[in-house]
Amino acid sequence: MVILEFLQTFLSNAAILVGLMALVGLLALKKPFEEVVSGTIKSILGFLILGAGAGVVVGSIVPLGNLFTTVLNIPNSALPVNEVFTSIVNQSLGREIALVFLFAFILNIILARITPFKYIWLTGHHTLFIATLTTGMLSVMPVFAGQTWLMILVATLISGFMMTFMPALSMPFMKKITGTDGFAMGHFGITTYALSGFLGQFVGDPEDSTEDMNFPDWIGFMKEPLVAMGSVMLLIYVIVGLLSGSAQASAELNRFWVVGAFIQSLTFAGGIAIILLGVRTVLAEIVPAFRGIAEKIVPNAKPALDCPVVFPYAPNAVLLGYLMSIVGGLVAMLLQLVTNGALGGVILPSMIIHFFVGGTAGVFGNSTGGRKGAILGGFLNGLIFTLLAGLTYTSFGGLNPDWAGASFGDTDFGVLGNILSFVGNLFK
């Protein structure tokens, strides 16, 4: 168990995992010792910088999510947070999840070696999430009662397949976004990413890009993406703060809550700047290093990386996708309310998922449909992930009452969770 826990901790750290892959690739290329050390450390540093930026962004939008919850004040609702569900299930299935995590990672490499899908999944925390989802839902199916190793085998096959196949759906659009096929998407929101890219072509023109938007002279400062992000976040914070009331806003932000809103908004923009630096650092090292893996271990291998890797290619699309995802999520939430349980639980706006998944969907939509594609992509993401999260929330609570109140949020988890729930009901 100690060894398993060590491996799970080691491999679930994206920075270490990416550094390990860079090390293997550089050794396979027979690079000089100093280049191996430098490339490995820079790869780790890049992901640490990226993670630090993500942490800053999350910290700056958590108060906004809390204020949204106060404004909406909906009883018996849920806020989908992957980490919460993961921590709950690991309390009872930690050993099984650790094994699925390890075996799924190995299976991903094997499948990349023997199939046309040459993608190696390097987003460690999402490997942990998919292992938790599959293990947790399979564990409460009667067919696996007393069949622990069979459950681990099936969970491994599902997780390894998802980690290998899903990045392939992103590649046609990743080429349009980045201009290269050097890396794929390794984040389980690919359902809406691919859908956004596919539908974008029917609603807009990629030449009408979000990055070419013209602003009037009096708001010319909005041409700078980081300034635009900070300004828009400040506007949202002020509106939600006014709706929630000064007392609640002061409790979340500051005694003088407008000052707190101002600081959090610019902190958000600063976090984006850190993410962009981390992305540039890691791509400069990991993509060349992967040539070694491609040449020696898995021919034509490509890394599947976390969603912020596309942010530098269309920062305005990230912002537009984020805002439209919130709109789509609110529409879905209203549908859940008026249908009185027919669409599952009521899901409150998760600012973290709206930003990271919605923003990425905006980038994918922009790649094929310009600003209209980004608008559609973000809106569809908010709508779809909220509806799916509502259904999985009901499924988790129904399968095991101890999990009531916890749900995954990203769209691929919603799709897989509902499929497993349907299968589980067949075997009751």
Task: Give the per-residue pLDDT at 320.
Answer: 92
- The amino acid that residue 77 corresponds to is S
DSSP states of 47-100: HHHHHHHHHHHHHHHHHHHHHHHHHH--TTEE---HHHHHHHHHHHHHHHHHHH
Q: Per residue in 38-91, pLDDT tens?
A: 988 988 898 788 888 888 888 888 888 788 778 877 766 777 878 777 777 777
Residue spans of the chain under pLDDT 70:
4, 7-12, 14, 75-76, 215-223, 396-406, 428
For 237, list phi and psi in degrees, rounded to 5. -60, -45
Q: Per residue in 344-365, pLDDT tens?
A: 888 888 888 899 999 999 999 9
CA separation for the pair 178, 195 (Å, rounded) = 18
422 burial via Cβ count (<10 Å: 0-12, 13-18, 19+) = exposed
Question: Residue 326 belongs to what domain range?
Answer: 2-426
Sign of the CA dihedral running 126, 128, 131, 135: negative
Task: Give the per-residue pLDDT at 404.
Answer: 57
Does residue 411 contact residue 385 with C-beta atoms inside 8 Å?
yes
Rg (CA), the chain: 21
Integer angstrom CA distances of residue 75 from 70, 129, 267, 376, 400:
11, 27, 31, 30, 21
Task: Give the per-residue pLDDT at 160.
Answer: 96
Task: Give the per-residue pLDDT at 193.
Answer: 97
DSSP 355: I
DSSP states of 128-175: HHHHHHHHHHHHTSGGGTT-HHHHHHHHHHHHHHHHHHHHHHHHHHHH
Q: Beta 184-185 vs 302-305: how paired, if at all?
A: parallel
14's tokens: 């994206």
Does residue 208 contact residue 184 with C-beta atoms inside 8 Å?
no
Task: Quickly list H helices, 182-340.
Answer: 190-203, 225-244, 246-252, 257-296, 315-338
Task: Give the per-residue pLDDT at 402.
Answer: 56
Task: Give the per-residue pLDDT at 371.
Answer: 95
Closest CA to 311 of 353, 277, 349, 260: 277
Task: Give the per-residue pLDDT at 107.
Answer: 94
Residue 338: CB atoms within 10 A of its CB come to 9
CA separation for the pair 275, 310 (Å, rounded) = 11
Count of domains for the chain: 1
375's tokens: 């608008």
Sole residue written with tokens 């060349």: 288
Indicate whether this model's pTM tops 0.85: no
CA separation for the pair 206, 368 (Å, rounded) = 5
CA separation for the pair 195, 385 (Å, rounded) = 12
Sole residue written with tokens 């999985």: 392
For 331, list phi and psi in degrees, rounded to 5. -60, -45
